[in-house]
Amino acid sequence: MFFSCKDDERIEGVKIESSFVNFDINAVPYAKLSTYAFFKGDLKNLDPVDKVIPYEPASSLFTDYALKKRFIWMPQDVKATFDADDKTLNFPVGTVLIKNFYYNTIQTGNTTKILETRLMIKKSSGWIFAEYLWNDAQTEAELVTGTDFTSGSSKNITFKKDNGDIITTDYRIPSETECYACHKLDNKPVPIGVKPQNLNVAYNYPNGLKNQLQKLVDEGYLQSYPSNIVSTVNYKDTSKPLDIRLRSYLDINCAHCHQDNARCDYRAIRLSFSQTTNLAKMGVCVMADEPIDPSLERIITPGNPNKSVMHFRLSSINENNRMPLLGRTIVHDEGVELLKQWISGLNQTCP
Amino acid sequence: MKKIFPFFFLLLNSTWVFAQLTCATAVPLSLGTVTAPDVTGDAPATGCSLGLPGSKGLWYKYTATQNKTIRIATSTIGQNADTRLIVFTGNCTTLNCLTANDDFAGTFSQVTFNAVAGTTYYIVFDNKYSSLGFNITLSEVVVVPDRLSFTPQSVSTGGSFNNCVVDMNGDYLDDIVSVVSPTQIVISYQQSGGGFTSTSYTVPTTTITPTWSIAAGDYDNNGYNDLVYGSGSGIAFLKANSDGTAYTSDRKSQSFLVQRTNFIDINNDGKLDAFICDDNAPNRYYLNDGTNMNHHQGGLGDFPSGGNYGSIWIDYDNDGDMDLYIAKCSGGGSGPGGNIDELHRNNGNGTFTNVALTANMANPTQTWSAAWGDFNNDGWMDAVVGINSTSNGLSKVMKNNGDGTFTDKSAGSGYNTTNALSREYVAHDFDNDGFLDVLGAGNTIMFGNGDFTFVPNPNPYSIDYYDRPIGDLNNDGFLDIQNGNTILMNAGNTNKWLKVTLKGTQSNRNGIGARVEIYGAWGKQIRDIQSGTGFGNMNTLNAHFGIGQATAITKVVVKWPSGIVDVINNVTPNTTLNVIEGTFLDTKETQTAQETFTIYPNPTHDIINFKATNDFTPVEAKIYEMSGRMVLQTKVERNSISIKQLNIGNYLLILTDKNGKNYSQKVTKK
């Protein structure tokens, strides 16, 4: 074996280790999204290079009807390991999670516009957040830094919903601490969606449908996974049982805060998919810490959405009583409808 | 289908014979139980406090033959009915809401009210939640009377954000601020003869509403209060023009999740600054340079993930400057959490030190606000740290020991036996008995006994859970609570009171941060003037005291943030005392306060000498005319200054030492 000077080795190392992606863990986050070379061709096409693997959790978080394209990348020769069905995969240092937020019905003219790309990068010290804002020309996304990242911002947008409604809202670009508010477990930053329970479902890759966990294994990104994962479903899939759909929806939209050791663990409910088999943890018949009025005191009143605080909060856009607190400014009609259906179908009598 | 129509028409018509279906044919009730059929009659026009009515209703009535307390309750006839019960007075043309209830026990309703002989009460049920029949029981009851009662009075506010009661036009009468939208506010000005006159203002470019909190203060010292809105995306200032007839806005660019907001002169330069709780990050504050409110972050509660909910400024160590307490709430995890409350001692030099741990105030209690006040009238500010969740224990009653530490007096306090929750905990003397009470812990007032024990009103009040600003809205010396479009007017009692209103000249115009003391048979009572108490509401800036049955107030002392001390002797109870900074100077009082520190000779025509002490060595002197205009500013050398250049007359001297401590005294040039 022969090695030349260290500099040469490092340059060569980067080239080989990252295939086409440019990643120096000591230099990231880069000032521009394009520098990573996650995508080939026009940046706005979000066409991933080799080893930048798309993924999609079975149910997704509602963020004002924004569409999302998510990707994962890891350095060569390292891989994630399975921890538990409901726990984020144990990712190696150097892992990058890439989440692009866009609309394809921006008015006028139903144009496509990417607003932001959020990265979570695992460094040896733990996960960091990097926020990139796209320019109007859609040619580049710039890193948000300094006081721009200690405070958030908003972008006024007008888009069309699937049902034809035209919505104008101040789309929220989070601050670093707002990222952390949701991505926080036991006082450490963590990813949310990339749990085995959410990825144990097929994705339509360019060369065909495949289970996403299997794909990660095939790519050398995941060591292995068990065959009996208790999994969430797509809440939109009406062929699935109503309660499983709702529990999947609550998991991805609410459980990052409403779980042990997270932001809202001082409240009674626990909304992780692995916990909500217990109706009390969903709030059924549970008195809310913060009643809304004398008729709206239980988190969920069986058979009566109008007397269920959870339904009230999901239906509210008032910042001081809506839920989720962060990440939405408008009502998710389909989510509220799902909750309403489920509550209406309950018939137990509260003590 | 056409043939069927007349049939239905007849059927509907025929139902009119069932009496309880309309107001005009309401069925008289008497003591006892009757069974109501399915709810198929006319709906009431309103659900009163229950909101919108259902689409159908049932009508009953009760005419009292003598004054009695009447209870009406529904119960099941073996099916899962879910009733709503609304009681009106008046007649079928004009019905007035009296009381209403939805779920008193399970899905059944109950109301209790004082019926007046000869009055007819309309008792209406709607089908909002179910159309099934039920039992109605009417009974006479003996209820424990309210310790203090409130009389609902309608007020037209105009907006949906009703969390601000404060004087807005400089007449010291509390007004009602209602925010309609990001571009509109309605101010209902309290009239000197009672009642309100509303004015709507267009406020451009605010872009936000006070969804989380609102605070008021005159940050440009022009005599008209300005506002700060706290929202989920930062703050906006609303600034009153020179005569309070228009508002401009200053929307700040920093976007973050705001909780409590306060106006407070953080650096004691005579100009109000704004302190802003950040839910997710270290707190923010905006320092007033006389032109702009400039953003700062750091030094006033820097827990990385925030958890800052209820900031309140008080002088807990009686050193003349305002300290900061932060009621905190946050989820768990290993290591120190963002839920540990903080107490930041003002070091008097622009810096603050979190002393919560040594003070015994670093509680993990999940709290959104704490009520601060001198609950035992010993001259030191105590606290009720109120819970919003029971997961880290119940509310705490903390006694200020006067030595920088606090003792937990929760055991036996009354707060140790309630797990009622609130966002808002505020200290006021609602029954004017001379002991501070706390509005907080569900919908009741916890009446203070002066010994760290509190007793709830026997019956809960009908108050909004969130929007409940407090002020004297009929200027009768008893504090009232605004509840949206209803004012809960304090029905009062025979206790006496005093209100003290302030006008700062060297200090900020509102006197925010001033300590007001009153003396009499009770000993001493104190208040700190605060903008932004509780969690989201803005309450009156007027200092309000109850003095029970005492008949004399021997002395009122106002200690201003500037260091000036005004003393007013023999103040008449049941009056409002307006104190303009520096107009009631009392040489004896200030000398007593500073003990051995003296100045001489006084009067003088040239040199004034200072006899310094270990505690106070002046380094700078400012001299003001009694009008408030500064006429001399000079360094103090060899413990003396010259006032030879001044005209003959009375002046106010303010001395400052190297720690920023002030001493004020009236001096005479001869």
- Cβ neighbours of A325 in B, within 8 Å: 232, 257
pLDDT digits (tens, 9 = 90+) for B106-144: 889 999 998 999 999 999 999 998 999 999 999 999 888
pLDDT at position B14, please?
41
Interface contact flag, B339 A266, Cβ < 8 Å: yes
Q: Residue for token digits 């000077």?
A: A5
| Residues in CB range of B104: below 8 A, 6 or more apart | B73, B110, B111
Selecting from A150, A257, A318 the residue whose C-beta is nearest the C-beta of B211 gives A318
Q: Do B103 and A147 touch (CB under 8 A)?
A: no
Beta bridge partners of B600: B609
Q: How far is A183 from chain B (nearest CA, A)?
A: 11
Tens digit of pLDDT for each residue in A160-198? Answer: 999 999 999 999 999 999 999 999 999 999 999 999 999
Strands A96-106, B607-611: pairing is unpaired
Half-sphere exposure of A129 (CA within 13 A, CB side): 24
A13 HSE (CA, 13 A, CB side)? 13
Best probe of the B interface among A266, A287, A344, by most B CBs < 10 A, is A266
B273 touches chain A (CB under 8 A): no
* C-beta neighbour count of B487 within 10 angstroms: 24
Q: Which residues does chain A have within 8 Å of residue B103's beta carbon, measured at their own beta carbons?
A: 294-295, 297, 307
* Residue B487 Cα, gap to closest chain A Cα (Å): 17
Query: Which residues in chain A are contacts of B391 at CB distance < 8 A?
Result: 265-267
Q: CB–CB of A177 and B304 under 8 A?
A: yes
A333-344 vs A242-254: helix axis angle to the nearest 10?
130
Query: CB contact, 8 Å: B368 with chain A?
Result: no
How far, CA to CA in Å, does A168 sit from each of A160, B249, B342, B635?
9, 23, 40, 60
User: In this complex, which of A290, A304, A306 lies closest to B421 when CB atoms are compared?
Assistant: A290
Residues of B in contact with A175 (CB under 8 A): 255-256, 280-281
Q: What is the DSSP string of A152-199?
A: BEEEEEEEE-TTS-EEEEEEEEPPHHHHHHHSEETTEE--SS--HHHH
The residue ranges of chain B whose pLDDT is under 50 are 1-17, 587-594
Q: Token pair of A311, please? A: 């339904």
ipTM of predicted assembly, 2 dp: 0.90
Distance, in Å, from the CA atom of A254 to the CA atom of B438, rounded to the nearest integer, reads: 34
The tokens describing A122, both together, are 């695992």
- CB spacing of B103 vs A263 below 8 angstroms: no
A304: which chain B residues are within 8 Å (Cβ-Cβ)?
82, 129
> A216: Cβ–Cβ under 8 A, 6 or more apart, which residues?
A53, A55, A72, A80, A199, A222
Inter-residue contact B187 to B168 (CB < 8 Å)? yes
Among chain B residues, CA nearest to A302: B107
Distance of alpha carbon B299 from the chain centroid: 27
User: How far apart, in whole angstroms, are the C-alpha atoms of residue B421 and residue A289?
Assistant: 7
- DSSP3 helix / strand / coil % (chain B, rounded to 5): 5, 45, 50
**Inter-chain CB proximity B211 and A262 less than 8 Å:** no
Element (H, E) at A225: none
Specify the pLDDT at position B657.
Answer: 80
Beta bridge partners of B653: B623, B665
H helices then E strands: how many in chain A? 9, 14
How many Å separate Cα A115 from the centre of its chain?
16
Please provide the distance, in angstroms rounded to a whole number, between the alpha carbons at the two ends of chain A. 76
Q: Give the length of chain A.
A: 351
Please answer yes or no on whether B101 and A180 come within 8 Å at the CB atom: no
User: Which 3-state string (H, E, C) describes A301-339?
Assistant: CCCCHHHEHHHHHHHCCCCCCCCCCCCCCCCCHHHHHHH
Cα distance between residue A26 and residue B44, in whole Å: 70
Q: Do B232 and A153 touch (CB under 8 A)?
A: no
Return the pLDDT at A19: 53
For residues A130 and A176, what is the distance between their CA atoms, to the nearest angstrom? 8
pLDDT given for residue B103 in this prediction: 87
In angstroms, the Cα distances linking B617 to A13, A243, B621, B638, B666 are: 69, 74, 11, 10, 18
Tokens 């820097």 correspond to B302
Instruction: Count contacts between A and B (CB, < 8 Å).
Output: 116
Which of A285, A320, A322, A330 is the best mutation test for B, with the most CBs of B within 10 A?
A: A320
In three-state secondary structure terms, B124 is strand
- CB of B193 within 8 Å of a chain A CB? The answer is no
Q: State the best of A264, A293, A295 to mutate against chain B, taking most chain B CBs within 10 Å.
A: A295
Compute the distance between CA of residue B446 and CA of residue B467 in angstroms, rounded to an integer. 18
Nearest of A42, A44, A67 to residue A56 by alpha carbon = A67
Q: Which of B209, B235, B280 to mutate to test the interface with A (most CBs of A within 10 A)?
A: B280
Spell out the alpha helix ranges (H) of chain A.
6-17, 147-150, 176-182, 196-199, 212-218, 242-254, 279-282, 309-315, 333-344
Beta bridge partners of B654: B622, B664
When mean pLDDT is compared across A272-276, A278-282, B144-148, B330-334, the lowest value belongs to: B330-334
B570/A contact by beta carbon, under 8 A: no
Cβ B331–A266 below 8 Å, yes or no?
Answer: yes
Q: A286 φ, ψ to 5°?
A: -85, 130
Instruction: Please report residues of B whose CB lies closer than 8 A to that of A289.
Output: 388-390, 421
Which residues, including other chains, have CB under 8 Å from residue A183's CB and lie 6 or more apart?
A120, A127, A129, A189, A190, A191, A192, A256
- pTM, full prediction: 0.86
Chain A's closest residue to B335, CA to CA, is A187
Average pLDDT of chain A, as a whole number: 93
Pick among A154, A187, A256 to test the B interface (most B CBs inside 10 A): A187
Mean pLDDT lowest for which of A11-15, A322-326, B323-327? A11-15
pLDDT in tens, A193-220: 999 999 999 999 999 999 999 999 999 9
Pairwise CB contact (< 8 Å): A261 & B334: yes
